[in-house]
Each structure stands twice: as structure tokens, then as C-alpha cells.
Structure 1
Amino acid sequence: MARRDSVSRNPADEASSLVARPRRRSTLKDVARLAGVSPMTVSNVVNGTLRGYNEETRDRVLEAIERANYRPDIAARSLRTDRRMAVGMLVVQTGRRFLADPYITSLLDGLCAGLNQRGYSLVLQGLHVDELATASLVQQLQTDGLCVLMSGNFMASTAFRATLKAMRQPIVMFQQPQPDPDGDICSLRQDDFDGGRVVCEHLVQRGARHVVAVVPELDWPAMSARVAGARHFIEASGARTRMTVLTSTDESAAATQGAVEGFMASHARFDAIFAGNDQMAIATHRLLTRRQLRIPEDVMVAGFNGLDFIDYFGTRLTTVRSPAFELGQLGAYHMVKRIETGAFDSRAITLPTELMIGTTT
């Protein structure tokens, strides 16, 4: 009788066999065999669990995942863990262009990056304020937690609060003036009040005697906080400076310029404009330049947010840097930690803003 020799396979042979059988989907056990580790270690690496392996082992597992073309079965994982590995994001306002504001897109960029690092996906929905009750993210259980950025004051929106809390999901609220003392909610915001205060202080120090603040009609708590901070500085410092608040129908260049032109038509004298955000500041700058006013000699102009797009503006704008991207990343961190541990580390966090002095003041 012929003797059957035992044949040992090396990892390269295992990878070849997996590639040679394209109809069979690679499993977690296949990856473990390729990497020479236990299936539990592979599971920990795939799920981002930082225990049971070192960096060298992690790199070996990741290489095996790539060689085996392994893709985790999210549906199966959800059945085992009761997690959907997804976080919802609601952008709620009265307008329809939910992603037109660079601040919102920067915050979403940070949120998405933070969730990706932790193995979670983002489900995004833009809503009109009257559509919340019928929103798919509210009607269908698609996510493990919900992030919300809304116009208006969340604490004053009784029906809105009740609808979200009835979902029984953890909630991260962005850019709300105060945290909700009840419910499973974490409030993350930037210090818009102080940002408004420091930019107004800068304008007054540069000699401003009449500051005109131009903001959109839509009630964003952050805009209100910026104006409140500017007004507080004037009142608290005793500066011989007055402040006028203009509202434009929206944040577009046409609406902003229309509001400023209407004010200029009244022949009011002013020497500084503090716009609610940078795009409104740039629109104002262009209008004043067209009117042959010198900036900053005749009128100083300051904006808010300091996002990357202002680098394309030919003039270095004085503005306040908003940590929008960092705020999104922080939201991802706290949401995932809440999902995985059952409790938020903190109920309210405020990030600082920073004055960036340009050539327009």
C-alpha cells in the first residue's frame, strides 16, 4: 500500500487557495489561519478593540485581511451585538440647502473621519423643521446613535425634544447654547460668545466707533451668541462704540449685500462690519470695494469661522477660527464611546475659538 505523505501548507499557499476559489467568501477563520492568530484576535482588530494583541500582530492581521480579501458581515455582526455600526446625523433648518454652509460640511467631515476610524458609518439626512416626525432616521431604527445640528434652540423646542428622546438612542447635540439636563444627551459646541467678544474688542482697539453686525434671519444659536459676545464687550468695557444689528434674508452674497446696501442708503455712518460668517464678510467686502470705500481705512471688515475656503479670497480676512472639524471628530469619539460603554464621559463640552487678524481691520 502506498504511503500517503502529510503535506503542510504555508500562509502563501493558503492565500493562493483562497484566491483560487473566488466563489467562496473568505471568513474570519481564514484570516486567522493566514495570520497565525486566533479568530478572537482577528475579531478584535476588525472591530477596533484595543486589547489582546500588539502592533506587530495587528499589522499581520491587516495584511492577511487584504490578502484574503476579507469583508466583515455587518448584518451578522449586528445580530450578534445588537449594533448597526452606524451613527445618524440630522441637519435641521428652515431652508432646503442643507450642505451649502462650509461650516456644516467641515463639521460633517470631522464626524465622518472620526466614525470611519472606529469602524462606524454615517447616515446623513437633511430636514426642514416640519419634517422631523416623518424622517426616515426617526421612523426606522437604522443607527446606534443620533447626532443633531439644528437651527433654533433645542431646549425651547418641546415637540422636537420629545420626538428625539422617544427614539431611546444616545444623542450628540452640536452647537446648542446650553446642555439638556435630562435624557441621554451630550452637548458639544464652540465658544461663539467669546469669539464675538474678542473680534469686537479687536475692532474697538483699532478705532471702531460704530460696529454693524450682519447676520441671517434664520435663527442659528451660534450666530446669536457671536452677536451677544460683541455686544457684551461694548457694554462691559464702557467703550464709546455703538452697535447695530442687520439681518439678511439668508447667507447668500445677494442677500448680504442687499442688507448692507439698504443700511448704507440711510446715510448712517459706520466704520466696521462684523459679519456672521466669512462668506457674508467676503460679500460685504466686495460691495464696499465696488462702492470705492477703502478697507480697512474707511471701513473695517471681519468675519467668522476661518475655514479653508477663505484662502481663495485675494485678501487676508480678519476672522475667528472655528474648530468645526475638531468638533465633528469629538462628536464621533463621544458617540462611539457612549455606544460601547453605555454612558457619556461628559454631558457638555465647549471648544475655544481663536482670533485671526488679517489685513481687513
Structure 2
Amino acid sequence: MIRRSAQQSEAGGRRATLKDVARLAGVSPMTASNVVNGTLKGYNDDTRLKVLHAVEQLNYRAHVGARSLRTDRRMSVGMLVVQTGRRFLADPYITNLLDGLCTGLNQRGYSLVLQGLQPDEISASTLVRHLQTDGLGILMSGDFAADSALRSTILALNQPIILFQQALQDQASDICSIRQDDFEGGRAICEHLVQRGARSIVAVVPQLDWPAMRARVAGAQHYLTHSGARARLSVVTSTDESQVATQAALEGYLSSDGKLDAVLAGNDQMAIAAYRLLSNRGLSIPGDVRLAGFNGFDFLDYFGTRLTTVRSPAFELGQLGAYHMVRRIEGGSFDNASIVLPTELMVGTTT
């Protein structure tokens, strides 16, 4: 005996349609369509759950090609990660942000098209050369506003843009800037180090120009300049964010008779690298040197010491990007041109 699937049983032996979903959920086909397509209005949470339960019972699958023809949408959002170097998914900040973005888009019926590129590859990008998405997210090193060639290329696409971790410069463009308050994070952690007795602080950051790193250092310097604290900040750059490069940069500073009683690392990976170098030199943390990182991601649970750091809402930034991009695609304009999420100081045992 052949047992029919739930989809066949409820839909009379054929592939379930949206009308079948609406009938089983007790709603109109329009409401069922809004829920399935991720439209963010026209129903409440109870209705949404009824429709989703009907979708599951019927094993309903939307016909993406037909929906694209009907709505003139591709039901996908592009994401460009622009930086020097190839291993863009090795950065925990980027992967956390992309996780949030992908999760948020999937919940609304959209897919994510991802490309990691070097700056000179933008014009050859398939996301730029072929219109295959409804909107575009960008996370990049350097300054979007100052890079006139890239900016002109992107704006010529006439697509809505979510610009992650960059301050918005052009209010007239179809761009929404979503970033975290790195300046305040840097200010807060510098204040904490000074309150713990630091007087010679070294900030170690990568050479690659990330606006967030710049903002963190600027926030720290702003605190020292305006607080009257008797402390100084020296900035040391490493060739990249790896353990080898971070330790080489700090080793060079210490070997040149540089003085420090605190290290403010650009991120937590660099802070862990600094911890190992300082410990190998016989320095105690926080007795001889106070140490702080930035981001506070889950991998810190594998580090045996509770690092003082600043929590970055990278996953939430990605989710928020998905929400506002879909709102823009379906509503015609961004609700906000600039959104800034707070960071949070997390005091550990290293300061």
C-alpha cells in the first residue's frame, strides 16, 4: 500500500498551493501570501503561526521563479565584503554579522548572495555586473565616502544599499548606515584601564584600515584628551590580526625600550596573542600589564582567562540589516538613514 504524504492528503493528491495553505489556516489567500513571502504587515503573531503551521502540515513549498515574475523581485540580497586578503570568513566579526544577516533574510523568505573581494575586484564582481539581487549590503575596509571609484560604481547600480560599520555621508542616496558605537566602546575601555591604574597604554591594531578600529582608537584618545588623566596612548600597528603579526608588533615596541602598563587590542584575537607574548616575557596580567580586547564573541569561552573586552553586537547588526533591507525592498524607502547600536564593557580578570 502506498501512503500519501501530508501534502498530498490535504491537497487531494496534488502539490499544495497557497490557497490550500490559506484554507487550512482559516485566513485569506492574501494573508497567507503575506506570511509566506515575509511581508511585514497585514497580520498578527497568532495568524502568522497558524499559516506557518499549515505550511508545515501541507509541506508547502513556494515557487520562487513564479513569485519573482509576479513581484519583479529576485528574492535575494547581495553582500560584498571588501578587504585586502582572501580569508574574509576567518574574521569572527564578519562571520557573526553574516550569520545575523542570513538568519534575518531567511526568516523573511530571502536568500543571501555573498562575495568576498579585494578592492580592485569590485568592477568585475558578478553582483555588480549582473542584476541578480534586490539590494546590496557592504562591509569594507577603508572609507566608502572617500573611495570615489567604488562609490560611483555602487551607486550606479540603483539598488538599495546597507552600509555596515561605516558612518553615513550622503543623506540623499538610497543608503542605510548600520553600525555599532565603536567610538564609545574605545572611550569606555580606556577609561576603565585608567581607573585601574594604567598610565602608559599601547593600542595594537592591524594596518588594514577598518573604520571601526579607527573609531576605537579615537574614542580612547578622546577620553585621555578630555578627562585630564595623566596617561598616554601609543598606537602600534601589526601587518595583520594574526598571532604572529600581533606579537611581532608588540615585540618590536618592547625591544625599542617602549614602556607600557596596559595593552588595548583591536580585537580579542589580538588580545589573546598579546597575553601569550607578555606571559612568555615573564610579565603578569593584570599585575604588570592590564590587558583588554574588543568584541566579546563566544570563542572567548575557550580562553582560560576571562578577558576584559567590549561586546560588539555584530549578530544583531546583521539581523537589523536584514530587517531594514526587506522593509526597503517592499516599502520603497528606508525607515532610517543611520542606525547605531550600543557596545557594552565587559570587565574580566585581565585588568
Q: Which of the five TM-score ranges fits, normalised by the shorter chain?
A: over 0.9
Give the AA of the match of 2:32: V
Cα distance between partner residues in 2 of 1:56 and 1:303: 43
TM-score, normalization: structure 1?
0.91
Q: Which residue of 1 aligns with 2:9?
A: 16
Cα distance between partner residues in 2 of 1:38 and 1:239: 65
TM-score, normalization: structure 2?
0.93
Pick closer, same or farther for the CA change 1:267–1:339 going to 2, 3 Å. Answer: same
Q: Which residue of 2 aligns with 1:203?
A: 193
CA contact (8 A) 1:179 1:186 kept: no
Q: Which residue of 2 aligns with 1:71?
A: 61
Q: Aligned runs of 1:288-307 on 2, under 5 Å?
A: 288-307=278-297
Cα distance between partner residues in 2 of 1:62 and 1:327: 26
Deviation, structure 1 residue 265:
0.9
How many aligned residue pairs are there? 347
- Tell me if 1:147 matches 2:147: no
Q: Which residue of 1 aligns with 2:158?
A: 168
Deviation, structure 1 residue 77:
0.7
Give the AA of the match of 2:74: R
Cα distance between partner residues in 1 of 2:26 and 2:209: 58
Q: Whose radius of gyration is greater, 1 or 2?
A: 1
Pick closer, same or farther for the CA change 1:339–1:263 going to 2, 3 Å. Answer: same
Q: Deviations over 1:253-276 (max 9, x none)?
A: 010001111111112221011000
Q: Which residue of 2 aligns with 1:355?
A: 345
Cα distance between partner residues in 1 of 2:159 and 2:40: 25
Which deviates more, 143-152 or 179-188?
179-188
Q: Which residue of 2 aligns with 1:5?
A: none
- Tell me if 1:239 matches 2:233: no
Which deviates more, 114-123 or 71-80?
114-123
Cα distance between partner residues in 2 of 1:350 and 1:195: 12
Cα distance between partner residues in 1 of 2:194 and 2:23: 69
Root-mean-square deviation over aligned CA pairs: 2.0
CA contact (8 A) 2:168 2:176 kept: no
CA contact (8 A) 2:205 2:213 kept: yes
Deviation, structure 1 residue 113:
1.5
Q: Which residue of 1 aligns with 2:111?
A: 121
Deviation, structure 1 residue 157:
0.4
Q: Which runs of 5+ in 1 are unaligned?
A: 1-11
Give the AA of the match of 2:343: T
Cα distance between partner residues in 2 of 1:25 and 1:177: 48
Deviation, structure 1 residue 352:
1.1
CA contact (8 A) 1:14 1:34 kept: no
Q: Which residue of 2 aligns with 1:90?
A: 80
Pick closer, same or farther for the CA change 1:34–1:288 going to 2, 3 Å. Answer: same
Give the AA of the match of 2:55: I
